[in-house]
Amino acid sequence: MNKSELRKQAMTERRLIDPSAIKRLNEQLLQRFSKLDFSAISVLHIFLPIAEKAEPDTFQCINWLKNHHPHIKILVPKADFRTALMTHHEWRGMDYLEKSTFNILEPRSEEVYKGLIDLVVVPLLAFDKCGYRVGYGKGFYDRFLEGSDALKVGLSFFEAVDEISDVDALDVRLDLCITPDKIYYFNT
């Protein structure tokens, strides 16, 4: 299937999961996330979930990290829809968030982080067995991750599809992807 078909399919499938199932899937994702090796990670970037789109609950990952790896600096993105670029800001807690375009929660902070990032938790609608992903189609993460050495970790309620038929040279592959049932490791 191509990106556009996969986007549509994933959005429909997500809408159909009932809330109690979502809760369980999120618990499974956190359980797997917490098994990653964070010993070499100093700076971790993570998206904030768009509740209306039933994205994986990354707040639970942030809380877990704050409790178990308090030295890790956590960054969250702010998206500029005019440029399709993101800026990155240190996580300062729930009180420092506001709802922006398309119900995306974003930090209020104006202070932009420009240093190195060791690990990026990447949002997606679908991914394939090679680690290519499909997002909402604006290319935010492809631009952000172009040339980055960070470990790229996808989070998905669904398993990999066989192939994204219209992958292009600008698409950035994941290094691994966590689903409720397993972790996929890609040879990147």
Ligand X SMILES: Nc1ncnc2c1ncn2[C@@H]1O[C@H](COP(=O)(O)OP(=O)(O)OP(=O)(O)O)[C@@H](O)[C@H]1O
Residues 13-52 that bind ligand X (CB under 6 A): none
| From 132, 140, 184, 186, residue interacting with ligand FFO (rule: CB under 6 A) | 140
- Nearest CA to 112 among 136, 130, 85? 85
Distances (CA, A) of 35 to 31, 32, 45, 182: 7, 5, 17, 11
Q: What are phi and psi of 177, to 5 degrees?
A: -140, 130
| From 90, 143, 173, 183, residue interacting with ligand X (rule: CB under 6 A) | 143
132 binds ligand X (CB under 6 A): no
Q: Which does 3 bind (CB under 5 to 8 A by kind): ligand X, ligand FFO, none?
A: ligand X
Which amino acid is it at 59? F
158 binds ligand FFO (CB under 6 A): no
Shorter beta-carbon distance to ligand FFO: residue 44 or 71: 44
Candidate ranges 11-19, 67-75, 142-150, 173-181; the one touching ligand X (CB under 6 A): 142-150
170 binds ligand X (CB under 6 A): yes
Question: Angle CA(89)–CA(67)–CA(133) in degrees, nearest 5?
Answer: 55
Count the neighbouring beta carbons within 10 Å of the beta carbon of residue 39.
6
| From 47, 140, 158, 184, residue interacting with ligand X (rule: CB under 6 A) | 140
- Tell me the two tokens of residue 75: 């960054």
180 binds ligand FFO (CB under 6 A): no
Return the DSSP state at 171.
Answer: P
141 binds ligand FFO (CB under 6 A): yes
Q: How far is the CB of 134 from ligand X (least distance, A)?
A: 5
| From 135, 161, 178, 186, residue interacting with ligand X (rule: CB under 6 A) | 135
**Secondary structure class of 144 (helix, strand, coil):** helix
Which residues contact residue 147 at a Cβ distance below 8 angstroms, ignoring those fewer than 6 apart? Answer: none
Return the DSSP state at 174.
Answer: P
Q: Which does 142 bind (CB under 5 to 8 A by kind): ligand X, ligand FFO, none?
A: ligand X
Judged by the rule CB under 6 A, the positions of this chain that interact with ligand X are: 3, 134-143, 146, 170-171
